[in-house]
Structure 1
């Protein structure tokens, strides 16, 4: 499987959206250089309040660009970085990847998929009603989270729009993604 990087985004301050950049630098074990969520331990405010010593399994947030078209059909205009992701991809089923998948991004960077983003009510603060479009139920009534995946940086490097994303699935039985 292969996709491409559609956009990259980062923000050094707490804000729901992240401005698009010409490039971002991933730092092994930390996340996106200069991003507010970079670090060995959790940086998301609600998780820091629970236990600030938890490992940061949310160093890099990836989102599939195809979600923007899906919510667009319901009247929501959303673009790269506006839902807080660091890397917007095109052509990959991010939500279908198992835990432990390695993503080679560009020539150097490698991230390991840790789980699903658990979208919160801040999404409705950005666009009222959008939360219902990124969290729903499947035909069997199971909760479906569509707001991207989270990962940790295994190998650092610069990431730019247009870079390829190569997928390396883990060995053995695959564990489906769950919220992290």
Structure 2
């Protein structure tokens, strides 16, 4: 057996291994320097001391999951055709919304509450009937848009839930 061939093959494998590790390290370093914001939308309801529930609210949360601080300038719901529903101030939930713009450090969260009835009313006024895809969006001051998972609903569904 010729040891020069084996030596050349092992050297080539070692070079490929080094290139792969270097690429992984470069990608991780680039990802660490990015602004990473996770956006979620769920439902929040007030619970009163007598056990009754208040009106339902859509709760939009933007959480900085990266290592770099991010300044969130707005939280809103994106409608089809690039329309959006923005709430400037809504402290009707009982817990105040996060005042925007806000700097989110690693792990910090900004929250916005929107009443289901207001969302349904906006959908009706915009002429969006039937099933509509709503997307929670957080905009940062660097021009980045961070989108959450889409939510398919209708104005009638939201209004029925708000009245229940």
Q: What TM-score, normalized by structure 1, do the two folds share? A: 0.23
Task: Write 1 or 2 for the structure with the bigger share of helix.
Answer: 2
Structure having greater relative contact order (Cα 8 Å, sep ≥ 6): 1
Q: What TM-score, normalized by structure 2, do the two folds share? A: 0.24
- Look at both structures and tell me which one has the larger radius of gyration over its CA atoms: 2
